[in-house]
Structure 1
Amino acid sequence: MSPIETLVVPRTSDLGDGVKVRRALPSAQRRMVGPFVFLDEMGPVSFAPGLGMDVRPHPHIGLSTVTYLYEGAMMHRDSAGHVQKIRPGEINWMTAGRGIVHSERSPNIARRDGQRLAGLQMWVGLPNRHEETNPGFVHYGLDAQPIVEGEGVRAQVAAGSLFGKTSSVQTLSPLFLGDIQMRAGSTFELAAEYEERAAYLSRGSVEVDGQVYAPGQLIVFAAGVPVTIRAVDDVRLAVLGGEPLDGPRFVWWNFVSSSKDRIEQAKADWERNRFDQTVPGDETEYIPLPAPRG
C-alpha cells in the first residue's frame, strides 16, 4: 500500500509589501488534515529598515490560530488585551471561540532595523462543544516543546506527541505538530498513531516511497501506514495532523464553523461593528469585510 494519499502544491498569494504566502490548506485536493483547516507558509521575505509586516486587526471565530516562525519576529495584539512578541520556535496559540480580533505586525525594533521573516500560520478547527468557548491566548516558549535529536535529525515537538515526547502546549482535540530539520541522507519514520498526517516542506527535498518531493509541497499520508522520510539534501519540514474533527467545517475569510448560519452571523457582526473589536495599542485600523465575489 502506498504511504501517499494526496499531494498538494499550494497556490501563491501576494499580501503586499513584498510578502508572499503559499496556501496549502484548504485546497481543492484536501480541505483539512486532522483538525488543521488552514496552513500558510509566509516568506522568506527581507524587509529594509523602516518597513515591516502589517496584518491589521481582523476577526476570527471557531478556531485556534497558531503562529510559528522560522526567522524574524512578530508582535501579537488582541481584543482580550494580550500583547506578545513571538520569536522563532515559540508558539502563539490564540483560541477565537465565539469571537476575537487580533493584529500581527513587525515589532518596532525590527521595523527600525529591518529583518528577514519566515514561518507558518496555521488554524486548528475546534470541536463542536468548544466552538463558542470564551476567547483566549497562551504564549509558549521553547521550554514547553521537547527536542528529539539523533542521526542527523532534530525534531521540536511543538504540540501533541511525537517520537515518544509530548509538548506542554494545551490543545482541545488530539493533534500533533513538529518542526523537523534533517541533514542530507538522514531518515526518520513517522508512525501511524494518528489517523491523518501530513508533511509540509519549507526547505530542501525529501524522498518517500521512491518519489522525490520539492519545497513548497504538502504531502498527505495514507491512514494506518508508517512513513519513512529521507532527506535528499538539508531539509526543514513541518509534520502535522491528528484525529478528524466531529464533522465538516466551513471556512469563509477568517471564520470557521460547523454551521453556515454561524458564519453568516459573524459576517454581519463584523460589518456592523458588533464584535468586541478594539485591539489595545492598535485601535486606528482594521480589515473590512471582503466584498462578495461577483
Structure 2
Amino acid sequence: MLDIVIEARQASISNGFSVRRILPFRLRRMVGPFIFMDHAGPVTVVPEQLPAMDVLPHPHIGLSTVSYLFGGQVTHRDSLGVEQVIRPGEVNWMTAGRGIAHSERFEDPAALAGGTLEMIQTWVALPEADEESAPAFDNYQPQELPIVTEPGVWMRLIAGSAFGLRNEVKTHSPLFYLHVVLQPGARFGLPPGYPERGIYVAKGSVDVSGRTYTAGQLLVFTTGTDPLILAREPSTLMLLGGEPLGERYIWWNFVSSRPERIEQAKADWQAGRIQLPPHDNTQFVPLPQDNSRPAGAPPPQPLS
C-alpha cells in the first residue's frame, strides 16, 4: 500500500541551474536514511552557458552525498584535495562527517556535445556514531557495481544490498539504492527486508495497484507492502530505502541529530573554519540568511 506520493518541485542550486527536488518533503522527510534527493536535467546547453551552471564550493556535515549520472560529466573538488570527474554509471560517494566543502563544475563542453547532462544526487544521513567521523571521498567505477539483466529488465546496484546483490560501496547503515530500466510490459518489485522503501520514476510511467504514475513522482510504501511495478513504456526508476535512523535536523547543507550542531556548522562556515577545496578556493557560496525564525529562537523541528 502506498504511504505517500511526492511530486518533484523546481529548485535552484546555482544561478543557471535548476533541478527537480524530491526530498525532503514536508509530509515525508526521509525514506530510510535518504534525507535529500534532486534530479537534474536532462539539460542541453551551449559552452558559453556552462559556467553559470557551476555549483560553487559549499559545506556539508553529518551526511554522505551520492552523485550518479545518466549523461554528461561533472568535476568534483573538495577540501580533502580530491579532484574527480564523474561520468555516467559511476558513483561519487562523499562522506562529510564533521565537515567538508566541495564544488561541482561543468567544465568540459565535449561532454555535452550531441547529448545532455542528467544526474541524480541524494544525501544519506549518517548514524549518530558517525556524524563526527573524518570526511572521506570515494569514486566507484561501473565495473564495481553489479548489473543484472532479465527479459525486459536491466538493473544496477548503486549501493547497499538488494535481491541478494552487494557491492563494495562503503555505507554506514542498512540501505539499498538501485538504478532500474524497464521495457514496456516488464514487471518488477521492491527488495524485501527493509522497513522503508520508495520508487522514484525518473523517466517513463508505471502502473502500481491499477494506478499510473509518471516521471517526477516518488512513491513511498508502507512497511510490509510488496507492490508489483508494471512498466507502461520504457521507464527508468531509482529504488531506494533502508533502516530509519531517527530524528534529524536539516538546514541548508547541514544534517545532524542535534540542533546545536547545526548552529555550530553555520558559525564554522561563516568564520572560515571549514576549509575550501585547495584547487577551487577563490569562490564560495555564502551562508544564506535564515529568515525562517527570529534571532535566538529554537531551530526547526527535527525530520524523521
TM bucket, shorter chain: over 0.9
Q: Map residues 1-294 of structure 1 onto 2, 5 A cutoff.
A: 3-15=1-13, 18-52=16-50, 53-110=53-110, 116-245=116-245, 247-275=246-274, 277-293=275-291
- Give deviations 1:222-271, integer Å, cap 9, x for gaps: 111212101011100100000001x2000000000000000000001111
Distance 1:167 1:37 in 2: 22
Q: Is the 8 A contact 2:81 2:279 kept in 1?
A: no
Look up the equivalent residue of 1:24 and give its one-letter code. I
What one-letter code is carried by the residue in structure 1 that aligns with 2:176?
F
The 1:82–1:292 alpha-carbon spacing in structure 2 relative to 1, beyond 3 Å, is same
CA spacing shift, 1:278–1:16, aligned 2, 3 Å: closer
Any unmatched runs of 5+ in structure 1? none
Following TM superposition, by how much is the alpha carbon of 1:273 offset from its aligned partner in structure 2, in angstroms?
A: 1.0
Q: Matches of 2:90 and 2:74 in 1, distance apart?
A: 11
| TM-score normalised per structure 2 | 0.92
1:67-114 superposed Cα distances (whole Å, 9 cap, x missing partner): 011110000000001111000111000000000000010133547958
CA distance in 1, matches of 2:241, 2:111: 34
Paired with 1:126 and 1:81, the residues of 2 have a C-alpha distance of 22
Seen in structure 2, the aligned counterparts of structure 1 residues 15 and 257 have a Cα distance that, compared at 3 Å, is closer
CA RMSD, Structure 1 to Structure 2 (Å): 1.5
Q: TM-score, length-normalised on structure 1?
A: 0.95
Aligned residue pairs, count: 290
Gaps (5+ residues) in structure 2? 293-304
For 1:278 and 1:111, how far apart are their aligned partners in 2? 26
Q: In structure 2, how many angstroms separate the alpha carbons of the residues matched to 1:192 and 1:108? A: 41
Report the 3-state secondary structure (helix = DSSP H, G, I; strand = E; otherwise coil) of the residue aligned with 1:160: strand
d(CA) in 2 for partners of 1:36, 1:164: 21
Letter in 1 for 2:270: E
Q: What are the Cα deviations for residues 115-165 of structure 1, in whole angstroms up to 9, with x where unaligned?
A: 521111100000000000000001000111100110201000111112221
8 Å Cα contact 1:7/1:218 also seen in 2: yes
Q: What CA deviation, in whole Å up to 9, does each residue of 1:198-219 have, x standing for no partner?
A: 0111100000111110100000
Q: Among all aligned residue pairs of Structure 1 and Structure 2, give the percentage whose two residues are the same amino acid.
A: 49
